[in-house]
C-alpha cells in the first residue's frame, strides 16, 4: 500500500481541508447550536492543520507523521 501512497498529496489535502473549514460559512443558527458549530469548526481546523503541517515518511512499512509542536521561536 505504501508504494502507491503519495504522502505530499495526502498532506496537501489536509491543508486544503483546514482552509475549507476557515471558509465554511456559519449556518443560520443561534445560541447553543451556533456555539457548538463554532467549537466543532475550531476542532476540525486544528486537526486538519496539524496533519497538514506534518512531514511524512514511510519507515519500515509505517506511515510516520512528524509534527513540530514547539513554539516557532524554538524550532530548529
What is the per-residue pLDDT for 26? 87
Predicted pLDDT at 27: 86
Mean predicted lDDT score pLDDT of the chain: 92
- Grid cell digits, residue 22: 476557515
CB 14 within 8 A of CB 48: yes
pLDDT above 60 for 39: yes
Residue 74 · residue 66 · CB < 8 Å = no
Question: Is there a contact between 2 and 61 (Cβ–Cβ < 8 Å)?
Answer: yes
Residue 42 has a pLDDT of 96
Which pTM does this prediction carry? 0.81
Amino acid at each position: 500500500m505504501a508504494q502507491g501512497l503519495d504522502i505530499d498529496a495526502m498532506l496537501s489535502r489536509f491543508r486544503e481541508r483546514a482552509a475549507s473549514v476557515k471558509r465554511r460559512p456559519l449556518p443560520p443558527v443561534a445560541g447553543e447550536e451556533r456555539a457548538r458549530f463554532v467549537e466543532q469548526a475550531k476542532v476540525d481546523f486544528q486537526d486538519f492543520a496539524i496533519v497538514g503541517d506534518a512531514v511524512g515518511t514511510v519507515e519500515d512499512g509505517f506511515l510516520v507523521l512528524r509534527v513540530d509542536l514547539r513554539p516557532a521561536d524554538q524550532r530548529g
